Every structure is written in structure tokens, then in C-alpha cells.
């Protein structure tokens, strides 16, 4: 692990987490919880297997990640964040908020995408518009993956899908779905851009943008 050689808190932090892919490994473990090596590799398209192994060793040595042998039928090592690693959650939250404006023009043709990556913006940009109503579940099917957005009692929660009995399902490209959730486009425009809705339109109306979505 290379060092900046500076007696500065920012530099010391970057000595540990500043290498390429490191924070994305933390992102995967924050979203997915304890994960197999193959789970991490599948969630990090483009990373070389030897580099992933190296980064995991560095994170273990720094006390941010721990490795445990899972019992059968998994019978393989599981990687998870330590409390010190979980403390990076607010850091990734702020970094993601700062990076949202760079997503407004849509993905480049070479950009990979995983549907579960929508869990973060959904949880942070949506509010429950009718907290006294019964809970609802919206399933997002994007990029061959699913994530469920639930509104209940004034709170928004997300978790990996698919949902058992979703009240509505949105299927389509990530950019217009993100635009719909953030309030940038309406449902009619999202449909024109390839988004399909199954179920109750009222679910979309209830999941209102919370405001404060940063712009460039």
C-alpha cells in the first residue's frame, strides 16, 4: 500500500482507501452485506481478479474488512465490513451526492450497470408521500437485476429484489428510471424512453422526490 507521506488526516485516509476500486469494494459490501469473492467480482465489472484479491488483502490488513469461512452449503469465505469499514457509509453517501450531477446525461456506451446500484439514490432521493397509507413495494428491474423500494409509515427502505408481491414494477433502462425517481421526468416521458410499468400508477405518485437532488 503506497503512502502520500503526509501528516494530514485526509492524506492518511487516502493512504488506506484512495487506491482505485477500494471504495467500490466498500460500496458492494455496504449494499450486499457479507459477500463471496464471486459476488464481489460480479458486482465490480472490469476489475481483474488478482487486483480484487490484492485490494481485499489491503482492506483486511487495514482492519476495514474481515474474512470468515461460511458453513455448508455456502462453504466458502465470506467478506464483510468491520465497524471501522461500516463507518465509511456516510463518506460514500456524501461522495454519491456529489457525483449525481455527472449522471444527468446518461451512461456512456461502455458503462456497466447493476440494478442494485439504484438502491442508494432511491433511498436518498425519495420520500413517502402518504405515510398514513398501507405500505407499498415498488420493484425496479434494471440491467438484469432487481431492487425493491418500500414506503411505509413515512420511511423509504430498499433491499435487493425481487419482491414477493410488488404493488408495481418498473422495467427499463437505468437513466430514465433514475430520472423518474428523482423527478426529472414524468411517467409519460419515462415510457417514451423505454420504461414499462406494471401495477398501480399510484405507487409512483406516492414515492415523491424528497428534494435537494444536487445539480451541476
Whether residue 191 is found in the same domain as residue 124: yes
Residue 167 lies in a domain: yes
pTM as predicted: 0.85
For residues 127 and 199, membership in a common domain is answered with: yes
* CATH code, 204: 3.30.1050.10
**16 falls within a domain:** yes
Quote the number of domains for the chain: 2
Co-location of 128 and 181 in the same domain:
yes
- CATH number for the domain including 42? 1.10.10.10
* φ, ψ dihedrals at 20, nearest 5°: -60, 135
Are 72 and 127 part of one and the same domain? no
Q: Are residues 73 and 153 in the same domain?
A: no
Domain presence at residue 67: yes
Q: What is the pLDDT along the chain (216 residues), one digit of tens a residue?
A: 689 999 999 999 999 999 999 999 999 999 889 999 999 999 999 999 999 999 999 999 999 999 998 888 777 899 999 999 999 999 998 898 888 778 777 788 788 888 888 888 788 778 999 999 999 999 999 878 899 999 999 999 998 888 899 999 999 999 999 889 888 899 999 999 999 999 999 999 999 887 655 554
> Is 81 in the same domain as 119?
no
> Residue 67's domain spans which residues?
9-87
Q: Are residues 143 and 185 in the same domain?
A: yes
Whether residues 57 and 120 share a domain: the answer is no
Does residue 93 lie in a domain region? no
Amino acid at each position: 500500500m503506497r503512502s502520500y507521506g503526509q501528516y494530514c488526516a485526509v492524506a492518511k485516509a487516502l493512504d488506506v482507501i484512495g487506491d482505485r476500486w477500494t471504495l467500490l469494494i466498500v460500496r458492494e459490501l455496504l449494499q450486499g452485506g457479507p459477500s463471496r469473492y464471486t459476488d464481489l467480482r460480479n458486482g465490480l465489472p472490469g476489475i481483474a481478479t488478482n487486483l480484487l484479491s490484492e485490494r481485499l488483502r489491503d482492506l483486511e490488513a487495514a482492519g476495514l474488512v474481515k474474512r470468515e469461512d461460511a458453513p455448508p452449503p455456502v462453504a466458502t469465505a465470506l467478506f464483510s465490513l468491520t465497524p471501522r469499514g461500516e463507518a465509511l457509509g456516510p463518506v460514500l453517501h456524501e461522495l454519491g451526492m456529489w457525483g449525481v450531477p455527472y449522471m444527468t446525461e446518461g451512461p456512456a456506451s461502455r458503462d456497466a450497470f447493476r440494478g442494485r446500484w439504484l438502491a442508494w439514490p432511491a433511498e436518498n432521493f425519495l420520500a413517502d408521500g402518504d405515510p398514513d397509507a398501507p405500505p407499498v413495494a415498488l420493484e425496479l428491474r434494471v440491467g438484469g437485476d432487481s431492487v425493491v423500494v418500500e414506503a411505509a409509515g413515512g420511511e423509504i427502505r430498499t433491499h435487493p429484489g425481487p419482491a414477493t408481491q410488488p404493488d408495481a414494477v418498473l422495467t427499463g433502462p437505468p437513466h430514465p428510471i433514475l430520472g423518474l425517481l428523482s423527478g426529472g421526468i414524468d411517467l409519460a416521458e419515462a415510457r417514451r424512453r423505454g420504461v414499462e410499468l406494471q401495477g398501480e400508477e399510484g405507487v409512483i405518485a406516492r414515492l415523491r422526490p424528497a428534494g435537494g437532488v444536487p445539480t451541476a
